[in-house]
Structure 1
Amino acid sequence: MLFRLFIFIATLLLVGCDEDVALSKGTLDQLGNSGVLIGHFSADGSKLVTVDGTNVLHVWETSNRVREFTVPKDKMPDLVREVVISQDNSMLIVVGDNELQFWSLPKQKFVTKVSFNGVSGYAYITSVALAPTMDKIVVAMSDGTVNMANLHTQVNNQFAPHTRPVMHVQWDDKGEMVMTAAQDGKLALWQFGSPEPVFTKEFNHRVTSLAVRRDFSEFFVSDALDNQVIATLLDGADKSELKYMARFKVFRKALFIEQSAYLATSSSKSHLTIWDTKSGNEIGTWQIDTLNAGATIVDMYAPSREKLVTLSSDGLLEEWALNMLAIK
């Protein structure tokens, strides 16, 4: 019994040994003085879109933090639910309660707007994902409705697979498959336009975080209490489960570090955690730079397996040196 206890303690010490590694290389810049309510890096990381506390939208050049384009408050929806950047950085979508505003980034001009509704009259948009091929879009709603619309034919396939707000939508790299996850604890993979899922997974609590590897080979999903798994996209089978000492953890943002066995996650507080995706072990947890109490990570981007950049709700861009860890 004592021998087993010794092995357990030794394992904990090994798992936590990287926590003292100084990963942060410090704050790169502060984007404005009004905080960030919504923020997203583009697919290639070259651009960053933010909506600040005054409901003004800015498009930034990530490398030099130059503001390229601003949508003033009077052109914005009263309440911005989400922003989306097309994979080729040519289109910006600003999401309101029931309307999508399409903007041309190269021309910095408004193009058109499109309305979407749920099955119920009170539903509003909760999540939007544009296909990498830019010909299809998924608009998910607060009542569990999912709209799968072809932008060329203007055909919209609407169905209601969830009973609570759908907060996460992820496309595959070919623009053919879509994953949805909702506050009803259900996650599903769909062939675009089909009302029957390829597979489903159900959790006891609402899904708070979803991340998909770039090649769509695996995904990470977390519910609101104590179920965090990495699973295969073939059939949803679990590959590993995250392990930690606390009774439960809250997971918000998550990102696979490509070409490595690392997963980065953010908490509801000011913490960044790195995990080993093969074993599920926690490599370490670090405190992000903050200006205000309660600041958290709103988005992350990893330009390589050796570097991670985080954007906080304070508007701080912070760089992390992942090469300080033993990259696998």
Structure 2
Amino acid sequence: MLHRRSFKTTLLLAFFSVLLSACSVPETEPEERWLHAEDGAYAADISPNGEYSVVSGVDNGINVWHNKDNKLLFHWQHQSEGNNLVLAIHISADNKFVVTSDREAFALWSIESGEPVGFWRIDESTIRDVAVTNNGTGILVGRSNGKVMYFEPETGRRLEFLGHQERINSVDISPNGEYALTGGNDYVAYLWSTRTGQIIHTFTHSSRISSVTLDDEGRFAFTADSKQGAKIWNAQTGAQMSNLQYIARQKIFTDAVFSADGKYLLTGSPSRNIYLWDVKNGEQVDEWKVAAKEGTRPATAVVYAVGFVDKKTILSESSSGLAEMWTIEHE
């Protein structure tokens, strides 16, 4: 039941497993570094144009940063002053709206005005991940009971997708709100219509789906499982284009985004690592390592968000509370 007023809770297990199995990435130094959450972060997202970062701080609510001049634009409280438990954040493709979520409620915000648009609470099961369309017209909510809800705040229209058999781990939505990509513990990711609920493509893996991403231009879909399957698909035909090439027995992805020109996929991990991949062949072409969260033993950090600023520059947000800017060396 829904009452009016993007989670990654699997990261802890993923974090420990990656520590044991991931290949080592050399220490790297960013071009610039800013503190966006003093005591560390629970979640973050970077706008598709790289202009904004929205960060859920451990002790200070949700902060909206303008990255060009590192200016704090807004400070939001998801529910009330005090404990902040926002674990999922997603910025719309048009860089205008943000959806934030804890386990029991989600909120829609305007980046342009800084004001809240709406707040909704869910009684049935817990929220796992969220996504929002352009203009904030549609919100996608993945839940622990395997159901995915597509909700339109202005009209109140709601559609429940019941294709999954187990809990949802990751969701994404097309900018126009017509298509949803969802993945869960049932080893399957589905691309489906938010108008009819009908499945368009089925992407099957050999273990639980941990991460899904839709290209904003509608060209590609990325689905990754908890073992060695990380695949890029043609979103139009459903055919596999490439499988990311790595030798580790297990590689977990915490965020993924396609470049505007469609050449590259940028991914984050729960063990400080950022990777740049060639979309056509799945080969790794660049890598970076974010700063560790202060006080962690062993020294590590979860990369919550990655994004392209331009063709030669990327940005990351991590559990250390730091935003870090990196240069792409690959030509």
Deviation readout 1:301-321 (Å, 9 max, x if unpaired): 102221111112112222221
1:231-246 alignment runs, 5 A limit: 231-246=233-248
Q: 2:224 aligns with which of 218, 222, 225?
A: 222
Q: Distance in 2 between matches of 1:89 and 1:252?
A: 21
Alpha carbons of structure 1 residues 51 and 199: separation in structure 2 relative to 1, 3 Å? same
> Residue 80 of structure 2: SS of its match in structure 1?
helix
Cα distance, 1:89 vs structure 2: 4.8
Q: Which has the larger radius of gyration?
A: 1
Within 5 A, what are the aligned runs for 1:144-159? Answer: 144-159=146-161
Secondary structure, in 3 states, of the residue corresponding to 2:277?
strand
Q: Which residue of 1 aligns with 2:32?
A: 27
Gapped runs of 5+ residues in structure 1?
Answer: 1-18
Match of 1:313 among 295, 319, 326: 319
Pairing of 1:2-21 with structure 2 (within 5 A): none
Partner of 1:170: 172
2:43 alignment partner, one of 13, 21, 38: 38
Count of residue pairs brought into register by the alignment: 302
TM-score normalised by length of structure 1: 0.82
Structure 1, residues 129-156: CA drift from partner, whole Å, max 9, x if none? 2221432222221111111223232121
Matched residues in 2 for 1:42 and 1:112: separation? 20
Deviations 1:256-276 (A, max 9, x none): 222252222223211122222
- Rounded to whole Å, the distance in 2 between the matches of 1:38 and 1:162 is 25
How far the C-alpha of 1:244 sits from its partner, in A, is 2.1
Separation in structure 1 between the aligned mates of residue 286 and residue 150 of structure 2, nearest angstrom: 39
Q: Name 2:88's counterpart in structure 1.
A: 82
Q: Which residue of 1 aligns with 2:186?
A: 184
Mapping 1:27-176, distance limit 5 Å: 27-54=32-59, 56-72=61-77, 74-75=80-81, 79-117=85-123, 121=124, 123-176=125-178
Q: Is the 8 A contact 1:77 1:95 kept in 2?
A: no
Moved over 6 A (4+): none
SS at structure 1 position matched to 2:48? coil
Aligned equivalents of 2:55, 2:128: Cα separation in 1: 17
How far apart are the structure 2 equivalents of 1:103 and 1:284? 34
- Residue 325 of structure 1 corresponds to 330
- Native 8 Å contact 1:127 1:168 kept in 2: yes
* Aligned residues of 2:42 and 2:86 also touching (Cα < 8 A): no
Q: CA deviation at 1:58?
A: 1.1
Counterpart AA for 1:130: V
Per the TM alignment, residue 107 of structure 1 is displaced from its structure 2 partner at its CA by 4.3
Structure 2: unaligned runs, 5 residues or longer: 1-24
- CA shift for structure 1 position 79: 3.0
Structure 1 vs Structure 2 CA RMSD: 2.5
Residue 27 of structure 1 contacts residue 316 of structure 1 at CA under 8 Å; is this kept in 2? no
Structure 2 partner of 1:5: none
